[in-house]
Chains A and B, each alone.
Chain A
Amino acid sequence: MADVLGAFEQAVLMAIVKLGDDAYGRSVLRKVQEALNRDVAAGAVYATLERLEQKGMLSSRLGEGTAVRDGRARRYYGINGTGVDALNDAKAAMEQIWRGAEWPLRWPV
């Protein structure tokens, strides 16, 4: 099994998939927080975005700034074929690991 995406990486990639054309730094941060149901440090999200882009799973482009950002540009992210494959592999790996087991597990197993 090749390197499988970590849970946080999956959360970031899925946020970008769900946001579609509206996936930029702040919206990805909010979507990840919504998915994980907790506050998430911006540093973790941006570090993950940078890492995923370096791995070729994401591409990005600069968009227009807005007044609320004092005119600063937004960076929009889009998932690439490599990213889609990685998400599919992660899902398949999780299903293989859980095959034959009933969720939720109870103690004693």
Chain B
Amino acid sequence: MNPLFERLLLWFSDDVIAGDLLEEYREERLPRMGRLRAELWYLRQVVSIAARRVPGALAVLSLLSVGCAVWLATMELVLKHSGCPLRTVEDVGLAMQASAAMVAVATARARTLRWMVAAASVAVACDAVASFVHNARAQHFEGFVVVIAPLLLTQSLLTLAALRRRDHRSKSSS
């Protein structure tokens, strides 16, 4: 079996579950399905285990945040207003924070990643509030800020709450 799949699984679960899936893969799936289908089956189980660890609302908001960040970056590149390189980098950062949030909440490991995502989420929350306030006071009001800023703020706050809950659960079970 592709060792990368097992490494990926261990990000979101533990040795016991990895052992269970390996046993099922070797004893049942590989002889019955052949290597390619058995590996696809294994990958589907990894995704199902990872997905269960991300609260539904956070997953939806994170995916929407990634979509908004991609849209913002695209608009910056198309419109090329002054300061667009820096804002494009900022938009890429937003997309990375939203993507990393889902991984950090789901993973049982990577403490450093969780701290980095927590810090990035605080930054995104502050940026969202600042953008909203700045837009509200600006002469040229942008409607999309009214939608995207609250979305990013909610996503970052949910991420912080989910990370805190995860840490609390890890401490209770150890």
Q: A41 vs B21: C-alpha distance in the bound complex, in angstroms?
A: 11
The prevalent SS among residues of B at the interface is helix
Q: Which of A46-87 contact B (CB under 8 A)?
A: 46-47, 62, 65-66, 68-70, 72-75
Q: Of B48-56, B85-93, B109-117, B132-140, which binds chain A?
A: B48-56
- Contact among B19, B28, B49 for A42, CB-based, below 8 A: B49
With an 8 Å Cβ cutoff, the count of chain B residues facing the other chain is 22
Q: Is the CB of B48 within 8 A of A74?
A: no
Measured between C-beta atoms, what is the minimum distance from B3 to chain A in Å? 11
Q: Which residues of A contact B23 (CB under 8 A)?
A: 26, 66, 68-69
B45 within 8 A of A: yes
Q: Is the CB of B20 within 8 A of A29?
A: yes
- Contact among B19, B27, B52 for A74, CB-based, below 8 A: B19
B129 within 8 A of A: no
- Contact among B19, B28, B49 for A69, CB-based, below 8 A: B19
Q: Which residues of B contact A25 (CB under 8 A)?
A: 16-17, 20
Q: Is the CB of A43 within 8 A of B19?
A: no
Q: Is the CB of A24 within 8 A of B20?
A: yes
Q: A13 vs B48: C-alpha distance in the bound complex, in angstroms?
A: 20
- Contact among A30, A46, A47, A70 for B19, CB-based, below 8 A: A70
Q: Which of B47-79 contact A (CB under 8 A)?
A: 47-52
B99 within 8 A of A: no
Q: Which residues of A contact B16 (CB under 8 A)?
A: 25, 62, 72-75
B44 within 8 A of A: yes
- Contact among B18, B47, B52 for A47, CB-based, below 8 A: B52
Residue of A nearest to B18 (CB): A72
Measured between C-beta atoms, what is the minimum distance from A5 to chain B in Å? 18
Closest 10 CB pairs of A and B: A72-B19, A43-B48, A69-B19, A41-B48, A25-B20, A26-B20, A42-B45, A43-B49, A43-B52, A47-B52
